Structure 1
Amino acid sequence: MTKLTATVQFVFVLMACCTHVVICSPSANYTDMLSLLDFKKGISLDPQQALRSWNVSTRFCSWEGAMCSVKNPGHVTSLNLTNQGLVGQISPSLGNLTFLKILVLSANSFSGEIPMSLGRLHRLQILSLTNNTLQGQIPALANCSNLTGLYLGWNQLTGQIPVNFPSRLQELELQANNLTGTIPASLANTTKLQRFSCAKNNIEGSIPNELANLLGLQALMVGLNKLSGQFPQAILNLSNLVSLSISFCNFSGVIPSSVGTSLPNLQLFEIGDNIFHGHIPSSLTNASELNDIDMSRNKFTGVVPSSIGRLSQLSWLNLEFNELQASNKQDWKFMDSLANCTELRIFSVQSNLLAGQVPNSVGNLSIQLQDLYMGINQLSGDFPSGIANLRNLIALSLLGNNFTSGLPEWLGTLNRLQRLLLFSNFFTGPIPSSFSNLSQLVDLYLDWNQLNGYMPPNLGKLQMLEVLSISSNNLHGSIPKEIFAIPTIAKISLSFNNLHGPLHADIGNAKQLIYLQISSNNLSRELPSSLGNCESLEHIDLSQNSFSGSIPASFGNISSIKMLNLSHNNLTGSIPASLGNLQILEDLDLSFNNLRGEVPTKGIFKNATAVLIDSNQGLCGGPLDLHLLACPIMHSDSSKHKLSVLLKVVIPLVIVLLLVVVISVFLFQRRKQKTKAISLPSFGREFPKISYGDLARATHGFATSYLIGQGRYGSVYQGKLFQDEKLVAIKVFKLGTRGAKKSFIAECNALRNVRHRNLVHILTACSSIDANGNDFKALIYEFMPRGDLHNLLYSIQDSEGPSYFIPLAQRLSILVDVSEALAYLHHNHQGTIIHSHVGDFGLARFKFDTATSFVDSSSTSSIALRGTIGYIAPECAADGQLSTATDVYSFGVILLEIFIRRSPTDDMFKDGMSIAKLAEINLPNNVLQIIDPQLLQELDHSEVDNGTQILQSVLSIGLCCTKTSPNERINMQEVAAKLHEIQEAYLRGN
């Protein structure tokens, strides 16, 4: 019996060994297998079943992603599970795989922290955890003495870069995390380092000089951080450097003249988006292997080196948004030289100071050139003919220049074009019919030119077109229905043309349409109900046309719409209740129509600030906040007798009484001249009609003695108009000046719905013909008898007239009024207006929340730099980019000027000194040393105790407005609120 039992036991053991070889094998390593199984437990999702083979029925050395040592069977040396979609956390048990040399878990969705236990793997050579969502700090890995490659980029790691790394480390990639602190100088101890990247983090400080010891370093990628200081001198010692990227930081100063000589092996040179200035070093062409150069968005001046053509392998040259110049043949030699760069694919000199005609040598650029950006310069003349040779162009930008002549038909031969950006020029003539050959075109921007003729119906052949933007031209005819059949069309902008006829019902076929802007044309007839089929629409502006009929109820089907403007048309009927069902509608303008009936009460109609329904005399009811009269109550049959009495007795009596009142008023007013009212579409309210002759008589033939001011686009005269000889200011536009007509349109557009007590009031406008038969346009404003603020402020220096002193209380009042006006323009108007003169809207820019792939020219009045020297914000002076923050800066300068009484262009403001700098260095202790002496005399003779504190507070606001960075400036609502508080404090103390 004992022998039998022993035999049975042996058989069971033998069966176990046959079934589970891994468990019973005397060479098996339990630790590695159990560690892998524990790692598997940490996986919560395995969509590709990558770990399906990980079970005890299979030898673990053959599991997916695992490899074992040949010399030491049963020990895992490599674990590679790249791009398997794994979700979970990395188990600390991997630290038990003591023979592990390679651990690659990249491109998954691992979260949590990197286990500190990995620091025990002294045989580890490669650790790659790139492209996950790992958090926490980088663990200490100094004991991983054989580590040569550490790849932790594209995660969410925090903390600082560790001070110590293994001395054998050759590649260290930490990019795209949330790391802080500085680049440790001890990194120089990793003497074998060949590649270091910490780009796209929040690292501060400078590049340590100690890195000059990394003589084997080939790639230094530290851009997109908060690094600062001069160009790092340590870099010049790294003669083996192949790739250098320090873009999107705060580096400043000049680029060392020897940069190309010191770094002869450079292939990539990225220093864009910093604050470098000076000339582009000609030595850069000594780095003959260069193929990528990005020096964009700095402050480089001078000309592009004519030796640039020595870089025969150059494929990408980006010099945009600098202050580079070219005005003669010598300056343009760089273009001739670039013909030697036969690999050039991308070339941009956009937003510089290049002037004159583009040389024909542009046609000698590489036949491989795909992107050519020359917009926002001062280029002029005909369309550059040499571009016809660049048959592989994908993107062409000449926007924001002064080109004239027509658009050439040969543009249609560039059949690989995907983006064509020609807006804000002076191109004339028709749109070439050859554009229909651009079968790959995605974006077509032709806004703000002088194009005329019809829109070619064959544009409908552009089956990949997404953006069709031709606003602010002179197009006429109807909108071709063919463009609505383009399956990809997402944006149509045709505003400010002379288009007429109906909006075709085929627009309902544009299923991908997001943005429809066709305002300020002569379109008529009924709105197509098929527009309700465009369920992707977010922005519809059909205002300033002659549409009639009712608003289709189908508009309530456009569930994605955020903005709907149907104002200034001839629409009738009631407002569809379905509009109240639009959940994300934020802006609804139905004003200046002939709508009648009850206003809906749901949805957007609950928000009175989001709905404009003015000048629809027949509307009633609706939410109380709309302040409409109640709708009449329908009477029952039992009240017919009362209704009959009302109709037969009461109403006739009321009519008689009204007639008596009207006749009395008429007799009282008979001495006054009647003026026929017209509805100006740019303003939307009734204005007296004024002729050219009226204005000529009011100004004695526009005599110079009546001239009170001049600007780029017009002259301002003083005159007397109307029966009561009211004193007015007459702004006459110089239509012969390029851009004057656009300025007139912009000013009309700005004044259309602007209402504020502190804004100069428009009285009327004149669009007529002068005595010589030429076009004549003028705007008539209220006349400000004391002139502008500048005259008041400095009139004490005028020896020919009486001096005028502005007391402290009045200066505060002026600032409060102006701040309220700007706050209104920025925050309380239908579209944000970016502006720097509260009484002149010719330089105004409208800013809407409109998503565009490049620049939405239809939303601005001008793309060129506007402003006055001394008042312009730094970012505006650098690249012409306007924002509400640029207005805040200008307001801050004016505030300081009012209290210091020194012009920002005063001779003392040079060599880095400005009016803002003067205030900064004297606040708070020496504020009385810079204040207008007249104010000091006023404070000396008053009983105000808090005068000095008031001055300090006001100047502090000026400094908050004139911060160098736009993001650090306060907004105008905050400014207005703070100035109100200061004004009240002053009045209480007085």
Structure 2
Amino acid sequence: MEVGGNETDRLALQEFKAHIADPSRVFSSWNDSSHFCEWYGVKCSHRHRRVIVLDLHSKNLLGVVPPHIGNLSFLREVDLRNNSFHSEIPSEFSRLFRLQKLFLNNNSFSGQIPSNLSRCSNLLTLVLDFNMLEGNLPAEFGSLSKLRGLGIQANSLMGNIPPSLGNLSSLRLFTATHNNFGGTIPETFGQLRNLEGLGLQWNKFVGTVPISIFNISTMTVLYVGGNQLKGALPSDLHFTLPNLEGIDVGFNHLVGPIPESISNASNVDEFLIQSNNFIGKVPSFSMMRGLYWFDISGNDLGSGQFADLNFLCSLTNSTKLKFLDIDYNAFGGPLPNCISNLSITLSEFGLSYNHISGTLPSGIGNLINLETLVMWGNNISGNIPSEIGDLNKMSFMALGGNNFSGHIPESIGNLRMSIKLYLEDNNLRGSIPSSLGNCQKLLLLDLARNNLSGNIPQEIVSLSSLSIYLDLSQNSLNGSLPREVGKLKNLGELYLHGNRLSQEIPSSIGSCTSIERLYLEDNFFEGPLPSTMSSMRGLQVLNVSNNQLSGQIPEYLASLNLTNLSLSYNNFKGALPTQGVFKSAISTSVVGNKKLCGGLPDFQLPKCKYEQSKLRRISKTAKILISTVSAFVGAACILSLSYFWLRHNKNVSTSSSSENGLMHVSYHSLLKATDGFSSINLLGVGSFGSVYKGLLDQTQSIVAIKILDLTRHGASKSFIAECGALRRIRHRNLVKVLTACSGFDSNGNDFKALVYEFMSNGSLDEWLYPSASQYTEKSKLSLLERVNIATDVACALDYLHHHCETPMVHCDLKPSNVLLDDEKTAHVGDFGLARFLPEEMHKLLTNQSSSIGVKGSFGYVAPGKKPTDDMFENGLNLHRYTNAALADRVEKVIDPILLQENQDSKKRQTIAPDDKNKSWFRTLECLVSIIEIGVTCSSESPRERMVISDALNRLQKIKKKLLEFIVIA
């Protein structure tokens, strides 16, 4: 009998393996060389040698759980969480009568929850979080009398919560957050006398929280935020819930005062009531010594009176306090000096949009771990205390919209970790402190609408980190715009309008190629618009009105992607261009330039009168001269191309030439560099050869050396193609080729190699799909890193398609051909299949159909997919799967790691932070935008695909938005 049972288990495990893709080779031990009880992730009982535990969590597995799982009849625990299992949860789990723990969370299971799981009468824990489950929660679960923990959060479940769950007398934890449950919270929950944690937030519950729930004395965590609940909190809240540690009722429609009894809740560490309609005085919280998250923002608390903020003094006893947010209320009076005694653990302090007056206490400098200080829209006056410079961990500070006066303290330059700094809409005066140049991480600086004077410090416009915007507008700044402005290469928006700036606009501004909006109006700039502005390809809005600019309006403005152009009230003269933005009198304003002429009729300008000398025809001699020069140039081009092809088709034994400054390398020098092409130095194997890590004697630098396998069909052609491509292209997001070698090896065989700059972080493929040996917590790519990489790749493609000498398509773009340097900047490599498009360019790159043959790796030609994904069959591919998810449940196509990225503790996983804490929803918003770009770019019809320049523009905007979320969070 035991032998038969053992054989049943072995066969069931083999069937399980057969249905699962295993890129990390977890199943390498699952073979007949060892007993199945010794297989990885399998644990057997000592007596019967039957499988009692199957633990394969977080192993990058993907596929369908087969019904044979039900044959492992001795199973007590199944842990398959954090993988990529999909399809329905097999109903055969119901045959596992001994099952006590079932973890299927963080996968892509779909369909309904099998109601027959209720037959697993010994279940203690059932966790189905972060899947794509639909339908109702089975009422049959009310019979699982031993169940202690039930987790179903982050799915698409709907309907009412079955009242039968009130029969689960052993239940301690129930989490159903982020679903579509509706109706009322069952009254029967009050029967769960052992319940410790209840998570129902971010659903569609209506009505009130049953008063019986507030009588469960064992309750430690009550999370019902993000619904449509109404009513008030009971006045005896603490007395009925004496063990309460965390309460979240935010984002509902609750009313009334905060119960006074909460003053005695000594165990509470999270108090979240934001975005409701609470009113009145805030009670003391002096007993909450363990409090770390306090958010009462978005209510009607306070009365606008002098002592409204005295309750803050009671929080000085909370020695673990990290998040303190009282934004959007009716608090009046000054900030009490006791805020200087708040815990030094405080990281976020939000006071915005109240009626706070008085001054900012200098003791604010005691909060040395403060990272976010936000007090927009109050009436705070006086000087900004110099002690603000003691907050050297500050990353986000917003003091805008107040009545601060005096000078900006020099000590503000000590905020070297600052990423965003808002001081706009105050009464600040004096010069801008040059010490701000020390803030080398600033992405955004806003000093607009103050009384600042003096010159713009060159240190400010030298902050190359600035990428979102720099706003110095509507002050009294004078002097010239420093030429260092050209260092703002990553800046998106520059606002300098409404000052007294003069002299010419520096030509260096042309280096600001990322600027989309440039406002220079209402100054005293003079001279012509610099010709270098023709390089500002990202420019969409340009306003230089009300200056003293002169000369002709440059033709290059017509070639930029401008959507709004204002040149009004200057001294421009001559003919108005007629192309680009100048086609629209709505998008372009030129009024007040009395010497302009021509243009389209809508501009109502006079016709141009040209001197006859400017209209004379080109003489016969000039024509001959031009023809002769053209002939010489054409001949030179032909000879140059002929030389290139002859040089690469000729068998030579010497190393590559040194033209263009390339170093000489030979077969023997590469042999030495790689230690005899040792397998230890092997980095990877591709379609046409192998790549080795090497140390070149000539430069003593580490390089990557691609050795072509010339026995493979197409390898020589690939070498020539890659040489041809790499000699014509230069871009920071393309792999840099150092030199090439074409000759013979020690046996007289043809030998060809390319030497590249070494990329210390390997390929994107290794990061997205790490093997078991490579996988660590540090090997995960964050959302921001992924967006950075996607943007880098888009930059490279935009250059190849639109900005290199001859347009080019890569034809083999895939994760293994995207390499990451030590800062994880992406570089596209492997141009062995690249193709120049001198004639077909217009067809291919303007969304028209193309006759170019399909080339490249299977699965990565649009619409792409990972070739090993078993789920893609019968016409289903990644494009269609993802496109369907956008309309249905987008979470199912998102790596669960990203959905968990912002959640720093198990307790906070069941809480949705509000939009000041940069919630899960904001991360999801960015992810959805990125997925939409991917779907559009991978459309089957070329004419439906997004142009890469548009994709790049959208990715850059998403990146900026994501950076804002990260900083605030």
Q: TM-score range by the shorter chain?
A: 0.5 to 0.7
1: CA distance, partners of 2:615 / 2:314: 95
**Counterpart of 1:278?**
256
Matches within 5 A, 1:443-522: 443-490=420-467, 491-522=469-500
Name which of 106, 110, 135 aligns with 2:85.
Answer: 110
Cα gap change, 1:403 to 1:79, in 2 (>3 Å): same
**Counterpart of 1:161?**
137
**Counterpart of 1:405?**
382
Deviations 1:347-388 (A, max 9, x none): 222222222222222223223323222222222222223424
Kindly indicate whether the alpha-carbon contact (under 8 Å) linking 1:319 and 1:349 is maintained by their aligned counterparts in 2.
yes
Matches within 5 A, 1:547-696: 547-580=525-558, 582=560, 586-596=563-573, 610-616=587-593
Matches within 5 A, 1:966-985: none
Secondary structure of 1:154's counterpart equals coil
Kindly indicate whether the alpha-carbon contact (under 8 Å) linking 2:305 and 2:331 is maintained by their aligned counterparts in 1.
no
One-letter amino acid of the counterpart of residue 78, structure 1: V
Unaligned runs of 5+ in 2: 618-969
1: CA distance, partners of 2:615 / 2:273: 85
Question: Normalising by the residue count of structure 1, what TM-score does the alignment of the two structures yield?
Answer: 0.58
1: CA distance, partners of 2:97 / 2:291: 43
Shift, 1:574, TM fit:
4.8
Kindly indicate whether the alpha-carbon contact (under 8 Å) linking 2:308 and 2:332 is maintained by their aligned counterparts in 1.
no
2: CA distance, partners of 1:130 / 1:137: 15
1: CA distance, partners of 2:584 / 2:62: 45
Cα gap change, 1:538 to 1:145, in 2 (>3 Å): farther
1: CA distance, partners of 2:71 / 2:221: 38
**Counterpart of 2:265?**
287
Kindly indicate whether the alpha-carbon contact (under 8 Å) linking 2:190 and 2:210 is maintained by their aligned counterparts in 1.
no
**Counterpart of 2:509?**
531
2: CA distance, partners of 1:118 / 1:599: 76
Name which of 119, 132, 135 aligns with 1:143.
Answer: 119
Report which stretch shifted further, 273-282 or 574-583: 574-583
Secondary structure of 1:158's counterpart equals strand
2: CA distance, partners of 1:224 / 1:560: 39
**Counterpart of 1:926?**
none
Deviations 1:544-601 (A, max 9, x none): 2233333345445444444443333333445555555556x54444444444566666
Shift, 1:240, TM fit:
0.7
Secondary structure of 1:135's counterpart equals strand
Cα gap change, 1:77 to 1:518, in 2 (>3 Å): farther
Shift, 1:107, TM fit:
2.1
Name which of 356, 369, 381 aligns with 1:392.
Answer: 369
**Counterpart of 1:770?**
none
2: CA distance, partners of 1:450 / 1:638: 58
- Largest Rg, 1 or 2: 1
Cα gap change, 1:533 to 1:87, in 2 (>3 Å): farther
Cα gap change, 1:101 to 1:546, in 2 (>3 Å): farther
Do residues 99 (structure 1) and 77 (structure 2) align?
Answer: no
Matches within 5 A, 1:728-743: none
Cα gap change, 1:62 to 1:522, in 2 (>3 Å): farther
Do residues 334 (structure 1) and 311 (structure 2) align?
Answer: yes
2: CA distance, partners of 1:548 / 1:85: 62
Kindly indicate whether the alpha-carbon contact (under 8 Å) linking 1:231 and 1:256 is maintained by their aligned counterparts in 2.
no
Cα gap change, 1:389 to 1:193, in 2 (>3 Å): same
Kindly indicate whether the alpha-carbon contact (under 8 Å) linking 1:223 and 1:247 is maintained by their aligned counterparts in 2.
yes
**Counterpart of 2:53?**
78
Shift, 1:330, TM fit:
5.8
Name which of 242, 245, 249 aligns with 1:264.
Answer: 242
Kindly indicate whether the alpha-carbon contact (under 8 Å) linking 1:208 and 1:234 is maintained by their aligned counterparts in 2.
no
**Counterpart of 1:197?**
175
Deviations 1:265-310 (A, max 9, x none): 110011111121211101112332101101111121111113x212
Cα gap change, 1:42 to 1:598, in 2 (>3 Å): farther
Name which of 289, 294, 299 aligns with 2:277.
Answer: 299
Deviations 1:73-127 (A, max 9, x none): 2x43323232233343333333333333322222223333323333333232222
One-letter amino acid of the counterpart of residue 370, structure 1: S
Kindly indicate whether the alpha-carbon contact (under 8 Å) linking 1:131 and 1:153 is maintained by their aligned counterparts in 2.
yes
Cα gap change, 1:329 to 1:482, in 2 (>3 Å): closer
How well do the aligned residues superpose, as a CA RMSD in angstroms? 3.1
2: CA distance, partners of 1:174 / 1:484: 51
One-letter amino acid of the counterpart of residue 181, structure 1: G
Name which of 195, 207, 210 aligns with 2:188.
Answer: 210
**Counterpart of 2:335?**
358
Secondary structure of 2:314's counterpart equals helix
Secondary structure of 1:224's counterpart equals coil
Deviations 1:930-984 (A, max 9, x none): xxxxxxxxxxxxxxxxxxxxxxxxxxxxxxxxxxxxxxxxxxxxxxxxxxxxxxx
| Highest RCO, 1 vs 2 (Cα 8 Å, sep ≥ 6) | 2
Kindly indicate whether the alpha-carbon contact (under 8 Å) linking 2:41 and 2:54 is maintained by their aligned counterparts in 1.
yes
Name which of 520, 524, 529 aligns with 1:542.
Answer: 520
2: CA distance, partners of 1:452 / 1:511: 29
How many residues of Structure 1 are paired with residues of Structure 2 in the alignment? 613
Deviations 1:655-709 (A, max 9, x none): xxxxxxxxxxxxxxxxxxxxxxxxxxxxxxxxxxxxxxxxxxxxxxxxxxxxxxx
Secondary structure of 1:142's counterpart equals helix
Shift, 1:344, TM fit:
2.2
Kindly indicate whether the alpha-carbon contact (under 8 Å) linking 1:326 and 1:332 is maintained by their aligned counterparts in 2.
no
Kindly indicate whether the alpha-carbon contact (under 8 Å) linking 2:323 and 2:346 is maintained by their aligned counterparts in 1.
yes
2: CA distance, partners of 1:553 / 1:56: 74
Shift, 1:345, TM fit:
2.3
Kindly indicate whether the alpha-carbon contact (under 8 Å) linking 2:163 and 2:188 is maintained by their aligned counterparts in 1.
yes
Shift, 1:239, TM fit:
1.2
Unaligned runs of 5+ in 1: 1-24, 641-990
Cα gap change, 1:504 to 1:112, in 2 (>3 Å): farther
Deviations 1:478-497 (A, max 9, x none): 21111233343222111111
2: CA distance, partners of 1:403 / 1:636: 67
Cα gap change, 1:214 to 1:623, in 2 (>3 Å): farther
One-letter amino acid of the counterpart of residue 337, structure 2: N
Percent identity reads 40
Do residues 381 (structure 1) and 358 (structure 2) align?
Answer: yes
**Counterpart of 1:68?**
44
Kindly indicate whether the alpha-carbon contact (under 8 Å) linking 1:572 and 1:594 is maintained by their aligned counterparts in 2.
yes
**Counterpart of 1:811?**
none
Shift, 1:329, TM fit:
6.6
Shift, 1:259, TM fit:
1.3
2: CA distance, partners of 1:443 / 1:268: 31
2: CA distance, partners of 1:115 / 1:602: 63
One-letter amino acid of the counterpart of residue 126, structure 2: L
One-letter amino acid of the counterpart of residue 104, structure 1: D
Kindly indicate whether the alpha-carbon contact (under 8 Å) linking 2:364 and 2:387 is maintained by their aligned counterparts in 1.
no
Shift, 1:472, TM fit:
0.3
Shift, 1:610, TM fit:
4.4
One-letter amino acid of the counterpart of residue 446, structure 1: L
